[in-house]
Structure 1
Amino acid sequence: MKGKAFLKALYYTVASFTMVIVLWQVAIMVWRPSDFLLPSPLAVLRALVAWVVDGTLALGLRDSLGRFVMGYSAAVAVGVAFGLLLGLCNSLFRYAYPLIQLVRPIAPVAWMPFIVLLLGIGDAPAIVIIFLAGFFPVLLTTASATHRIDPIYAKVAANYGMARSAYVFRIVLPAIFPQIANSLHIALGTSWIFLVSGEMMGTQTGLGYMIIDARNNMRTDQLLATMIVIGAAGFALDLLVGRLTSSVLKRWGAAA
């Protein structure tokens, strides 16, 4: 069954991408725009192949993924830790929640001037932007899920003399992990989006820098090629996170 499901998903993925490419080529044949406004799929493919051959694509992906892993991992770790703390401490939750809701809607790039002044240019601002983009979805989901756990679980754990740390890791985390898993996908999407914005500020490598470089050189074929790589990499990362969370859910008996 799993093999058939995989083949079916692969079929729909290939079919949807093929449809987009066909419609793209038909639009070019009908409206005949200039190559600058809308390059052909073949021109974009040539730009991708050139980057593969000269190593530009590998370098950009390596640096972007390195920054992303650092920022996203920190956002997940800190978000879950502070979310558990807020969820388990009702008074702290009541004080912190209004402040979190005040800061959360501010776009991470709005902090960029302060981040650059504090950390300078380079990798650090991009990593901090990624962290801010992923932190709040994980924090709020973890805190809210922990806060809503039935108090009877804490009473049962206390009756059995279970330590606080054991209660958190054996009862709370398995109970709220389905909600955390959903927040990881949301955080991944927002972090990956703001990775590009962060890399546009001061970095000399990465996918965001490649977009700026293509724009400055008026190479729309390279611009579209980079956009396709960003989308494909984000899609692959989301699948990877989905596999990891599914394995954890199965281990804790929360998934089939």
Structure 2
Amino acid sequence: MDRLNRIWPPLLVIAAIVAIWWIVVEQSGSLIFPTPGQVAAGTMELARNGTLWEHIGASLLRVATGFLIAVLVALPLGLWVGRVDAAYRTLNPVFQILRPISPIAWIPIAILWFGVGDMAPVFLIFLASVFPMILQTAAGVHAIDGRYLRAAENFGVPRAKLYRQVIVPAVLPEILTGMRIGLGVAWLVVVAAEMIVRSSGLGYLIMDSRNAGNRYDLVVAAMIIIGLIGLGLDVLMRRLEELRGVRWRYGR
């Protein structure tokens, strides 16, 4: 019953938005902007011929690749920067300068370096997600109660064991928070990044549908699918954050 009470209010809001959308389009007599029925029909058309799944798969693969590379770079770098004061003082200003630069601004450079294939979007996704994870992880290390670190050092705990059994468990909530932020930004960026690729992805689908006969039903369908997948990814990360081993940390 509690789950039902949480679900039906947003469903009612969505239903109201769809109804208003339908009424406005019908009353305006628009010949270009699609109704919800036309969007649903366009989505079914893409689903039946398999095009929809190809575009979704291409986008998810690019996000997964760029995000995984970002995780492999950001987590050890964030742990090191957060633990070593000299590294933090040296590198934090650099990260703070690079972080606000929109990944979209890197598109010309990405094209120059990687062309218009898959590597350019992967590079942009990496840039979008790596800095939030580095900074969030480093902030989590700084928030660890120093008593635990000093106690481990006094007992001669090796550095590798200190990271594995003290620092990483303590900072895990912040790591997942950074991953959630990074994944959300990565999914946002992939749509713009795919507008420069040749033949696949939801971003490419939007541009191709617009250019190939003004198929705005497919444009809106792709936008809705992007939103739904983004919601699903956020829900998945929230579920990870709610795990008992993640919610617990030192000093709480």
Shift of 1:108: 1.1
SS at match of 2:52: helix
Matched, 1:230 2:226: yes
- Whether contact under 8 Å (1:90, 1:147) holds in the other structure is no
Which residue identity is paired with 1:48?
A: T
Listed as ranges, the gaps of 5+ residues in structure 1 are: none
Shift of 1:187: 1.2
SS at match of 1:162: coil
SS at match of 2:62: helix
SS at match of 2:144: coil
Matched, 1:251 2:245: yes
- Whether contact under 8 Å (2:172, 2:246) holds in the other structure is no
Mean CA deviation greater in 38-47 or 114-123: 114-123
CA distance in 1, matches of 2:247, 2:220: 43
Task: Tell me the TM-score normalized by structure 2.
Answer: 0.92
SS at match of 1:189: helix
Match of 1:119 among 96, 103, 114: 114
Matched, 1:5 2:20: no
CA distance in 2, matches of 1:148, 1:238: 25
SS at match of 1:200: helix
CA distance in 2, matches of 1:102, 1:252: 30
Listed as ranges, the gaps of 5+ residues in structure 2 are: none
Matched, 1:52 2:42: no
- Whether contact under 8 Å (2:133, 2:178) holds in the other structure is yes
SS at match of 2:242: helix
CA distance in 2, matches of 1:252, 1:43: 44
Task: Tell me the TM-score normalized by structure 1.
Answer: 0.91
Match of 1:61 among 47, 56, 60: 56
Alpha-carbon RMSD: 1.7
SS at match of 1:235: helix
- Whether contact under 8 Å (2:137, 2:171) holds in the other structure is yes
- Whether contact under 8 Å (2:77, 2:134) holds in the other structure is yes
Size of the alignment, in residue pairs?
A: 248
Shift of 1:253: 5.7
Which residue identity is paired with 2:91?
A: A
2:99 aligned partner? 104
User: Which structure 1 residue ranges, 4+ long, deviate > 6 Å from structure 2?
Assistant: none
Match of 2:177 among 169, 177, 182: 182
1:24 aligned partner? 21
Match of 2:142 among 139, 144, 147: 147
Match of 1:209 among 204, 210, 232: 204
